[in-house]
């Protein structure tokens, strides 16, 4: 079975999750979605306060070596145990997700185009961008609603790490993209990718 791997990158709150979720809703279990966020390194040796001070927007915060290994295994027809991450505790969770090989795999993350090894694994690279004001508002809403953060902590993290790391490590990688979208709700781009994935799933 030939496996096509699609990378969807973009800054925090850019709309990449929206675009990814639309594709997942369209195809269901016929495609696999993986998240670079699940590959944050574990920090069980640190206190919660120490873990809260880590720069999670720097490439070193992620176990990209493991993600590369897992994608290579999936492409080779092997099943993997994908890690999960507890964003409230700021460390890797005990649970893993069993991921079986499939014809189309989507990988989403802010830094997935930053590592050349990952870029080389992607057959299609999509970058979703949005106005900085929109991105921070979405980030605030998500982190307070889903990750148990306070407004003060979100603002502090955005100003000290998220914003500078975005301009240093994330935005420059859009030059590697095959497609650059101005919104996760771009219907034309969605129809193009939907048609492409349908063709990939229909290949013998």
Residue-level pLDDT at 145? 79
Tell me, yes or no, whether 9 lies in a domain.
yes
CB 72 within 8 A of CB 121: yes
The CA distance from 173 to 10, in Å, is 9
The pLDDT value given to residue 134? 67
Would you call 97 helix, strand, or coil by DSSP? Answer: strand
Answer whether residue 204 is part of any domain.
no
pLDDT tens sequence across 9-65: 998 878 898 999 999 999 999 999 999 999 999 988 889 888 888 888 899 999 999
Does the residue 192 lie in any domain? yes
Give, in degrees to the nearest 5, the angle at Cα 19 between 204 and 155. Answer: 145
* pLDDT for the residue numbered 142: 73
Mean pLDDT of the chain: 90
pLDDT tier, 136 (very low <50, low <70, confident <90, very high otherwise): low
Q: What SS3 state is found at 54? A: coil
CATH number where 55 lies: 3.40.50.300
pLDDT single digits (tens) 92-126: 999 999 999 999 999 999 999 999 999 999 999 99
Asked if 42 and 116 count as a contact pair (C-beta separation under 8 A), the reply is no
Residue 104: both structure tokens together: 């189309």
User: What is the tally of structural domains in the chain?
Assistant: 1
Element (H, E) at 68: helix 64-75
Residue 134 lies in a domain: yes
Q: What are residue 40's DSSP bridge partners? A: 62
Whether residue 203 is contained in a domain is answered as no
List the domain range (segments joined by +) for residue 107: 4-197
Whether the Cβ atoms of residue 177 and residue 126 lie closer than 8 Å to each other = yes
Contact 103, 200 (CB under 8 A): yes
Is residue 202 a part of any domain in this protein? no
Residue 112 falls inside a structural domain: yes
């Amino acid at each position: 079975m030939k496996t096509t791997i699609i990378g969807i990158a973009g800054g925090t709150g850019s709309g990449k999750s929206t675009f990814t979720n639309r594709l997942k809703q369209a195809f269901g279990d016929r495609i696999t979605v993986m998240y670079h966020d699940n590959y944050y390194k574990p920090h069980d040796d640190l206190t919660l306060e120490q873990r809260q001070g880590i720069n999670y927007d720097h490439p070193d915060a992620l176990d990209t070596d493991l993600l590369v290994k897992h994608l290579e295994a999936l492409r080779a027809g092997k099943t993997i145990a994908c890690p999960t991450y507890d964003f409230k505790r700021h460390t890797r969770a005990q649970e893993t997700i069993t991921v079986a090989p499939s014809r189309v795999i989507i990988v989403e993350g802010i830094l997935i185009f930053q590592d050349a090894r990952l870029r080389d694994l992607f057959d299609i690279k999509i970058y979703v961008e949005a106005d900085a004001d929109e991105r921070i508002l979405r980030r605030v809403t998500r982190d307070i609603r889903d990750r148990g953060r306070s407004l003060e902590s979100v603002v502090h993290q955005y100003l000290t790490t998220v914003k500078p790391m975005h301009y240093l490590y994330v935005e420059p990688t859009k030059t590697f993209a095959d497609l650059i979208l101005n919104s996760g709700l771009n219907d034309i781009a969605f129809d193009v990718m939907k048609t492409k994935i349908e063709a990939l799933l229909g290949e013998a």
